[in-house]
Amino acid sequence: MSLPRFPFDNSYARLPEVFFRRCEPKSASTPGLICFNHALADSLGIDVKHSDEASLAEVFSGNQLPEGADSLAMAYCGHQFGNLVPLLGDGRAILLGEVVDAYGKRRDIQLKGAGKTPFSRPGSDGLAPLGPVLREYLVSEAMYALGIPTTRALAAVTTGEQVVREYPQPGAVITRVAASHIRVGTFQYLALQDDRDQLQRLADYVIARHFPNAMFEDNPYLELLRCVSERQASLVAQWMSIGFIHGVMNTDNMTVSGETLDYGPCAFMDAYHPETVFSSIDVQGRYSFENQPYVARWNLARLAETLLPLIDEDQDVAIEKAKAVLEDFMPRYDAFWLDAMRAKLGLENPEEDDATLLEALLQSLADHRVDFTLFFRYLYRVAEDPGDDAEVAALFRDANDWHQWSQRWQQRLQRESVPAVDRGERMRAVNPAVIPRNHRVEEAIRAAEDKGDFEPFHRLLAMVTDPYREPGEHPEYMQPPAANEQVVRTFCGT
Ligand code: AMP
Ligand code: MG
């Protein structure tokens, strides 16, 4: 048996050394493969034909570097909960290199939890406990299946060693695949070096890699800001449309590619409430559900600050130009959000009053603590047959509110041109039946941690990666937690 073969082409490693530090993963005593994403590996051109589980575990634990890897830790800084931390960098992640996928897209391949790097904080171990690895695997692959831009999970392995957090836990490594791991914080880091040439080098690299059309604009760096802003407006609108709470939207956790990055304390809301927060460290609710678009805009303002010297030599001119882009963020976000929410309600022809209809609905969902996912999922039945609304009505504490809103919605539907049968089908294709609900994720983690039983993990993974299908054989996977199953706090696991 031989190690998997990667068609590496490592462009980041060819950048100047200020961007990263070379380092190697630590060895694991007895690596064991939990999960390998064959479909993703295929699309990345990774050849595993002659690799058994043991050789996959060797590479994806970091025990052996595959041929052509040029492993390094990326440098970045970031605002964490609003405070600038001038040096963060990959403290527990090691980039193996890049491959160009079947669609011609360059992808980073990174190990997370494979030991210390030159950026690890003193006293930290660079490791990852099993729980957060399983959580990231489940949630990132669910997001992908939901059509939301995200980093992917290629492999998960156990290391055979213990990681000490509040209590000793099994250690694990996740292999993450990303359009790139360049963050707002990467720009902040280069800007702090006070070396305009290197900053421009990063900007040019990002333009070439992610936004090649920007090269042809009069002001490519302003266009870069506009492109990142557009991607983030779209991304956060998509999060909001499925009840996803990232939980730790620090500038070092926001990509410039527009992919969701860093699945730490993230969670999906069960009962709808705009102020929902799960993360144990987010005591002020800075990253609550409803704050996400505002935080994204705040982060983009930090990106804009770093780009000012590239946008115009005259700082006042640069500020004016950047401000115009930032002012466009909310209207763009609102437009993306409205589009996504209209689709959830089966509306295709935009009307002026749609936002009001949606606001009334969300108010009612919050008042009655209605399960966000189930409500939208069951709605297709009502769209097909207005009489078939018992399941939806039962989600409300007082069905009168539902009936009132439903009448407005039914009238609105009458002005649509799509036939009712098609409408139901289209609604089923945008309103998932299964999301990685917190209590199911916890259940999968508990079984793996306590008993080494990965069956619940694999079962949940199969369900959340086929999210629009109602799991007839396991209907309970659609349901919100019972009172005694609720998970109200999530943790970073760092
Ligand atoms: P995160 O919460 O994953 O965004 O991480 C924030 C920063 O802390 C990053 O620079 C990480 O590399 C670093 N970090 C988190 N956990 C660890 C760990 N176990 N060992 C070393 N560095 C870590
Ligand atoms: Mg991070």
Query: What is the C-alpha to C-alpha distance for residues 173 and 160, in angstroms, rounded to an integer?
Result: 11
pLDDT for the residue numbered 41? 98
Write the residue with the smallest CA distance to atom 5 of ligand 1.
Answer: 494
CA 444 to centroid of ligand 1, rounded, Å: 24
Residue 1 is encoded by which pair of tokens? 């048996």
Q: Give me ligand 2 centre to Cα 249, in Å.
A: 9
Structure tokens at 107: 């992808």
Residue nearest to atom 12 of ligand 1 (CA): 91
Residues annotated as catalytic are 252
Question: Largest Cα–Cα distance in the chain?
Answer: 66
Q: How far is the CA of 111 from the centre of ligand 2 (A)?
A: 13
Upper half-sphere CA count for residue 290 (Cβ side, 13 Å) = 9
- Taking the C-alpha atoms of residue 296 and residue 330, their distance in angstroms, rounded to an integer, is 10
Helix (H, G, I), strand (E, B) or coil at 250: coil
Q: Give Cβ neighbours of residue 465 (< 8 Å, ≥ 6 apart).
A: 141, 142, 144, 145
Residues 472, 477, 483, 488: what is their CA dihedral angle, to the nearest 10 degrees? -160
Claim: this prediction has a pTM higher than 0.85 = yes
Ligand 2 center from residue 317 Cα (angstroms): 33
Angle subtended at Cα 240 by Cα 290 and Cα 479, rounded to the nearest 5 degrees: 105
* Ligand 1 centroid distance, CA of 171 (Å): 15
pLDDT of residue 218: 97
Ligand 1 center to 49 CA (angstroms): 34
Mutation test residue for ligand 1: of 111, 124, 189, the one with most atoms within 8 Å of CB: 124
Question: Ligand 1 centroid to 430 CA: how many Å?
Answer: 34
- Residue 454, number of CB atoms within 10 A of its CB: 19
Q: What is the CB-side half-sphere exposure of residue 479 using CA atoms within 13 A?
A: 9
Ligand sitting nearest the alpha carbon of 255: 2
Measure CA 186 to chain center: 18
Nearest to 257 by CA among 191, 303, 310, 193: 303
CB contact at 8 A, 396 and 266: no
Ligand 1, residue 113: give the atom nearest the CA: 19
State which ligand 1 atom lies nearest to the alpha carbon of 93. 12
For ligand 1, atom 17: residue with the closest CA:
494
Q: Which two tokens stand for residue 141?
A: 């692959």
Of 23, 92, 162, 261, best ligand 1 pocket probe by most atoms within 8 Å of the beta carbon? 92
Residue nearest to atom 16 of ligand 1 (CA): 494
Nearest ligand 1 atom, CA 127: 19
Tell me phi and psi for residue 452, to 5 degrees.
Answer: 65, 25
- pLDDT for 490 equals 87
**CA distances, 346 to each of 337, 349, 428 (Å):** 14, 10, 9
Which ligand places an atom closest to the C-alpha of 113? 1
Measured distance CA(242)–CA(268) in Å, rounded: 8
What does each of the 494 residues of the chain score in pLDDT, given as a tens digit?
Answer: 899 999 999 999 999 999 999 999 999 999 999 999 999 999 999 999 999 999 999 999 999 999 999 999 999 999 999 999 999 999 999 999 999 998 899 999 999 999 999 999 999 999 999 999 999 999 999 999 999 999 999 999 999 999 999 889 999 999 999 999 999 999 999 999 999 999 999 999 999 999 999 999 999 999 999 999 999 999 999 999 999 999 999 999 999 999 999 999 999 999 999 999 999 999 999 999 999 999 999 999 999 999 999 999 999 999 999 999 999 999 999 999 999 999 999 999 999 999 999 999 999 999 999 999 999 999 999 999 999 999 999 999 999 999 999 999 999 999 999 888 899 999 999 999 999 999 999 999 999 999 999 999 999 999 999 999 999 999 999 999 998 898 888 888 76
The reported pLDDT for the residue numbered 342 is 98
How many whole angstroms separate alpha carbon 243 and alpha carbon 483?
20
Which residues have CB under 6 Å of ligand 1? 88-92, 120-121, 124-127, 252-253, 262, 264, 492, 494
Q: Which ligand is nearest to the CA of 264?
A: 1
Q: Cα–Cα distance between 245 and 263 in angstroms, integer?
A: 10
Beta carbons of 285 and 277 less than 8 angstroms apart: yes
Half-sphere exposure of 428 (CA within 13 A, CB side): 14
The ligand minimizing its distance to the Cα of 260 is 2
Atom from ligand 1 closest to the CA of residue 76: 10
Substitution candidate for ligand 1 out of 80, 121, 254, 279 with most atoms within 8 A of CB = 121
Q: What's the pLDDT score for residue 418?
A: 87
pLDDT score of 166: 87
Count other C-beta atoms under 10 Å from residue 43's C-beta.
Answer: 17
